[in-house]
Structure formats: C-alpha cells, structure tokens
Amino acid sequence: MSQAFFMQLATALTLANRYFPNIEAGALQQLLPEEFISQCLQEAGVATVRRRRLPLESLVMVVLGMALYRGKDVWSIADKMQIVLPGRRELVAPSAVVQGRQRLGSEAMRQVFHQTQRLWHQDAEHPRWCGLQLLGVDGVVWRAPDTAENTKAFTKPITTAGESAWPMVRMVCQMELTSHLLIGAAMDKYSTNEMILAKQLIETTPDNSLTLFDRGFYSLGLLNAWQAKGQNRHWLIPLK
C-alpha cells in the first residue's frame, strides 16, 4: 500500500479519536446533562428523592461507560468518571455499583436510549433523497454472559455441534443511513424471528421515509403494515 494511504488512515484515526469521549474529561456528562437523565428516570418510574452517594443518574453514566470502555473494569470506570457524591471514602465499592445497577433496571436505560435518539435525530439536519429520510433495518445477534438468568431469558442456540456456550440475544436495529444514528431497536431471545422484531419498529418509524431491508425481511404482512401505518412511508428490498 502507498504511503499516502497510511497518511490518510492516520489522519482519519486522529480525527475519530477527537470525538471519542474521554473517560476522565466529563465528555459524557456534557452530552447527557444530569437534568436530562433525571427526566428519563422519572418516565421510567425509578426516580427517587433520596440522595445516595452513588445516585441513579451517576449509575446511568457508569452503564454507558461500560459500553464505551469495555477494556476497563467497573470500579475503574466509576472512579475515573468521578461520579460519586462527596463523602468520607474516596472510592466506591464494586458491590455498590452492582447493587445500584439492579436498582436502576433496564427500563431506565431504555428511556435514555429512546429520548437521546429522538432528541439527536430531530435536531440533526440529515440529507434526504427526494424529500425522504433514508433508513435501514437489519438484524444482529449478541452473545450474553453465561448465567442461568440469561440462558432462561434468551436461550442457547442448538447447532449440529451441540449447544452453544453462550446465551444469544437477537436484535433488530433501525438506522438513519447518512449519520448511522440508531433510531430504534427491538430485541428478544435468539429463537425469535427477525420479522417479528421488525414489526415492533413500525409504530416509531417516521413519516416521509424510505426504509431499506435485506431480502431476509421479505414478508407481505410486514411490508404492507410498514407502508400503511403512516404517511408517505416507503420500503425497498432486493429481489435476489
């Protein structure tokens, strides 16, 4: 490969790194102010008046930090993000983070996702094609930690080689194609058909849009409902 290619690659990586949040710089707090997170907690029904040393608002940031910095342990993330309230102890115990995540629950994080995507999607001036927003829908499978709870909730796939070592989560995502911003997602156990999950995205699909599917989503019922639910909704799917 030419030297020019490597120079372009280095420039691209440098620019990308500038936009990656610094765990110690409070970049996540700038993107998601505490007032915004508090509103999401209220809508999820988990807001509390009691001010713990590790508030729920801070735990939301820990969960986001765990997703962004998968190479770091939870304790380091909570410590470096400086999210605990002042107290006698400088560090927060790992058990406090685990217990706090249980108090937080999944509904609160679901609200954070839906509210942020709605806010960022509406504020952004995405390019359009013939006046239509360009969307894409596709599926993905995630491995979950091998626990009894995850195995019961999501199941382990059975293959010709036997049972999978990991529980699997099936997820169908909806993306704004020009920005790669996820604007919708539905997930369930591995055995759930992707088209069943895609139906959950119909309600929130914006009007005046064109959605691209791969051929695995070919279903007259799904595609007809997708177009009929709103105004000026279209879809495109390959023939082969």
- Per-domain boundaries in the chain: 3-120, 128-236
Task: Give the β-pairing of 133-143 and 209-212.
Answer: parallel
- Which DSSP string corresponds to 175-202? EETTTTEEEEEEEEETTS-HHHHHHTTT
Nearest to 198 by CA among 166, 237, 164, 232: 237
Does the domain made of 128-236 have the CATH classification 3.40.50?
Answer: no
**pLDDT for position 232:** 94
Residue 200's CB is within 10 A of a number of other CB atoms, namely 15
**pLDDT for position 25:** 45
Please list the rounded mean pLDDT of every run of 10 residues in the chain (240 residues): 58 53 58 78 72 73 78 72 53 67 81 80 80 93 89 86 88 90 88 93 92 90 92 89
**pLDDT for position 93:** 63
**pLDDT for position 83:** 57
**pLDDT for position 234:** 95
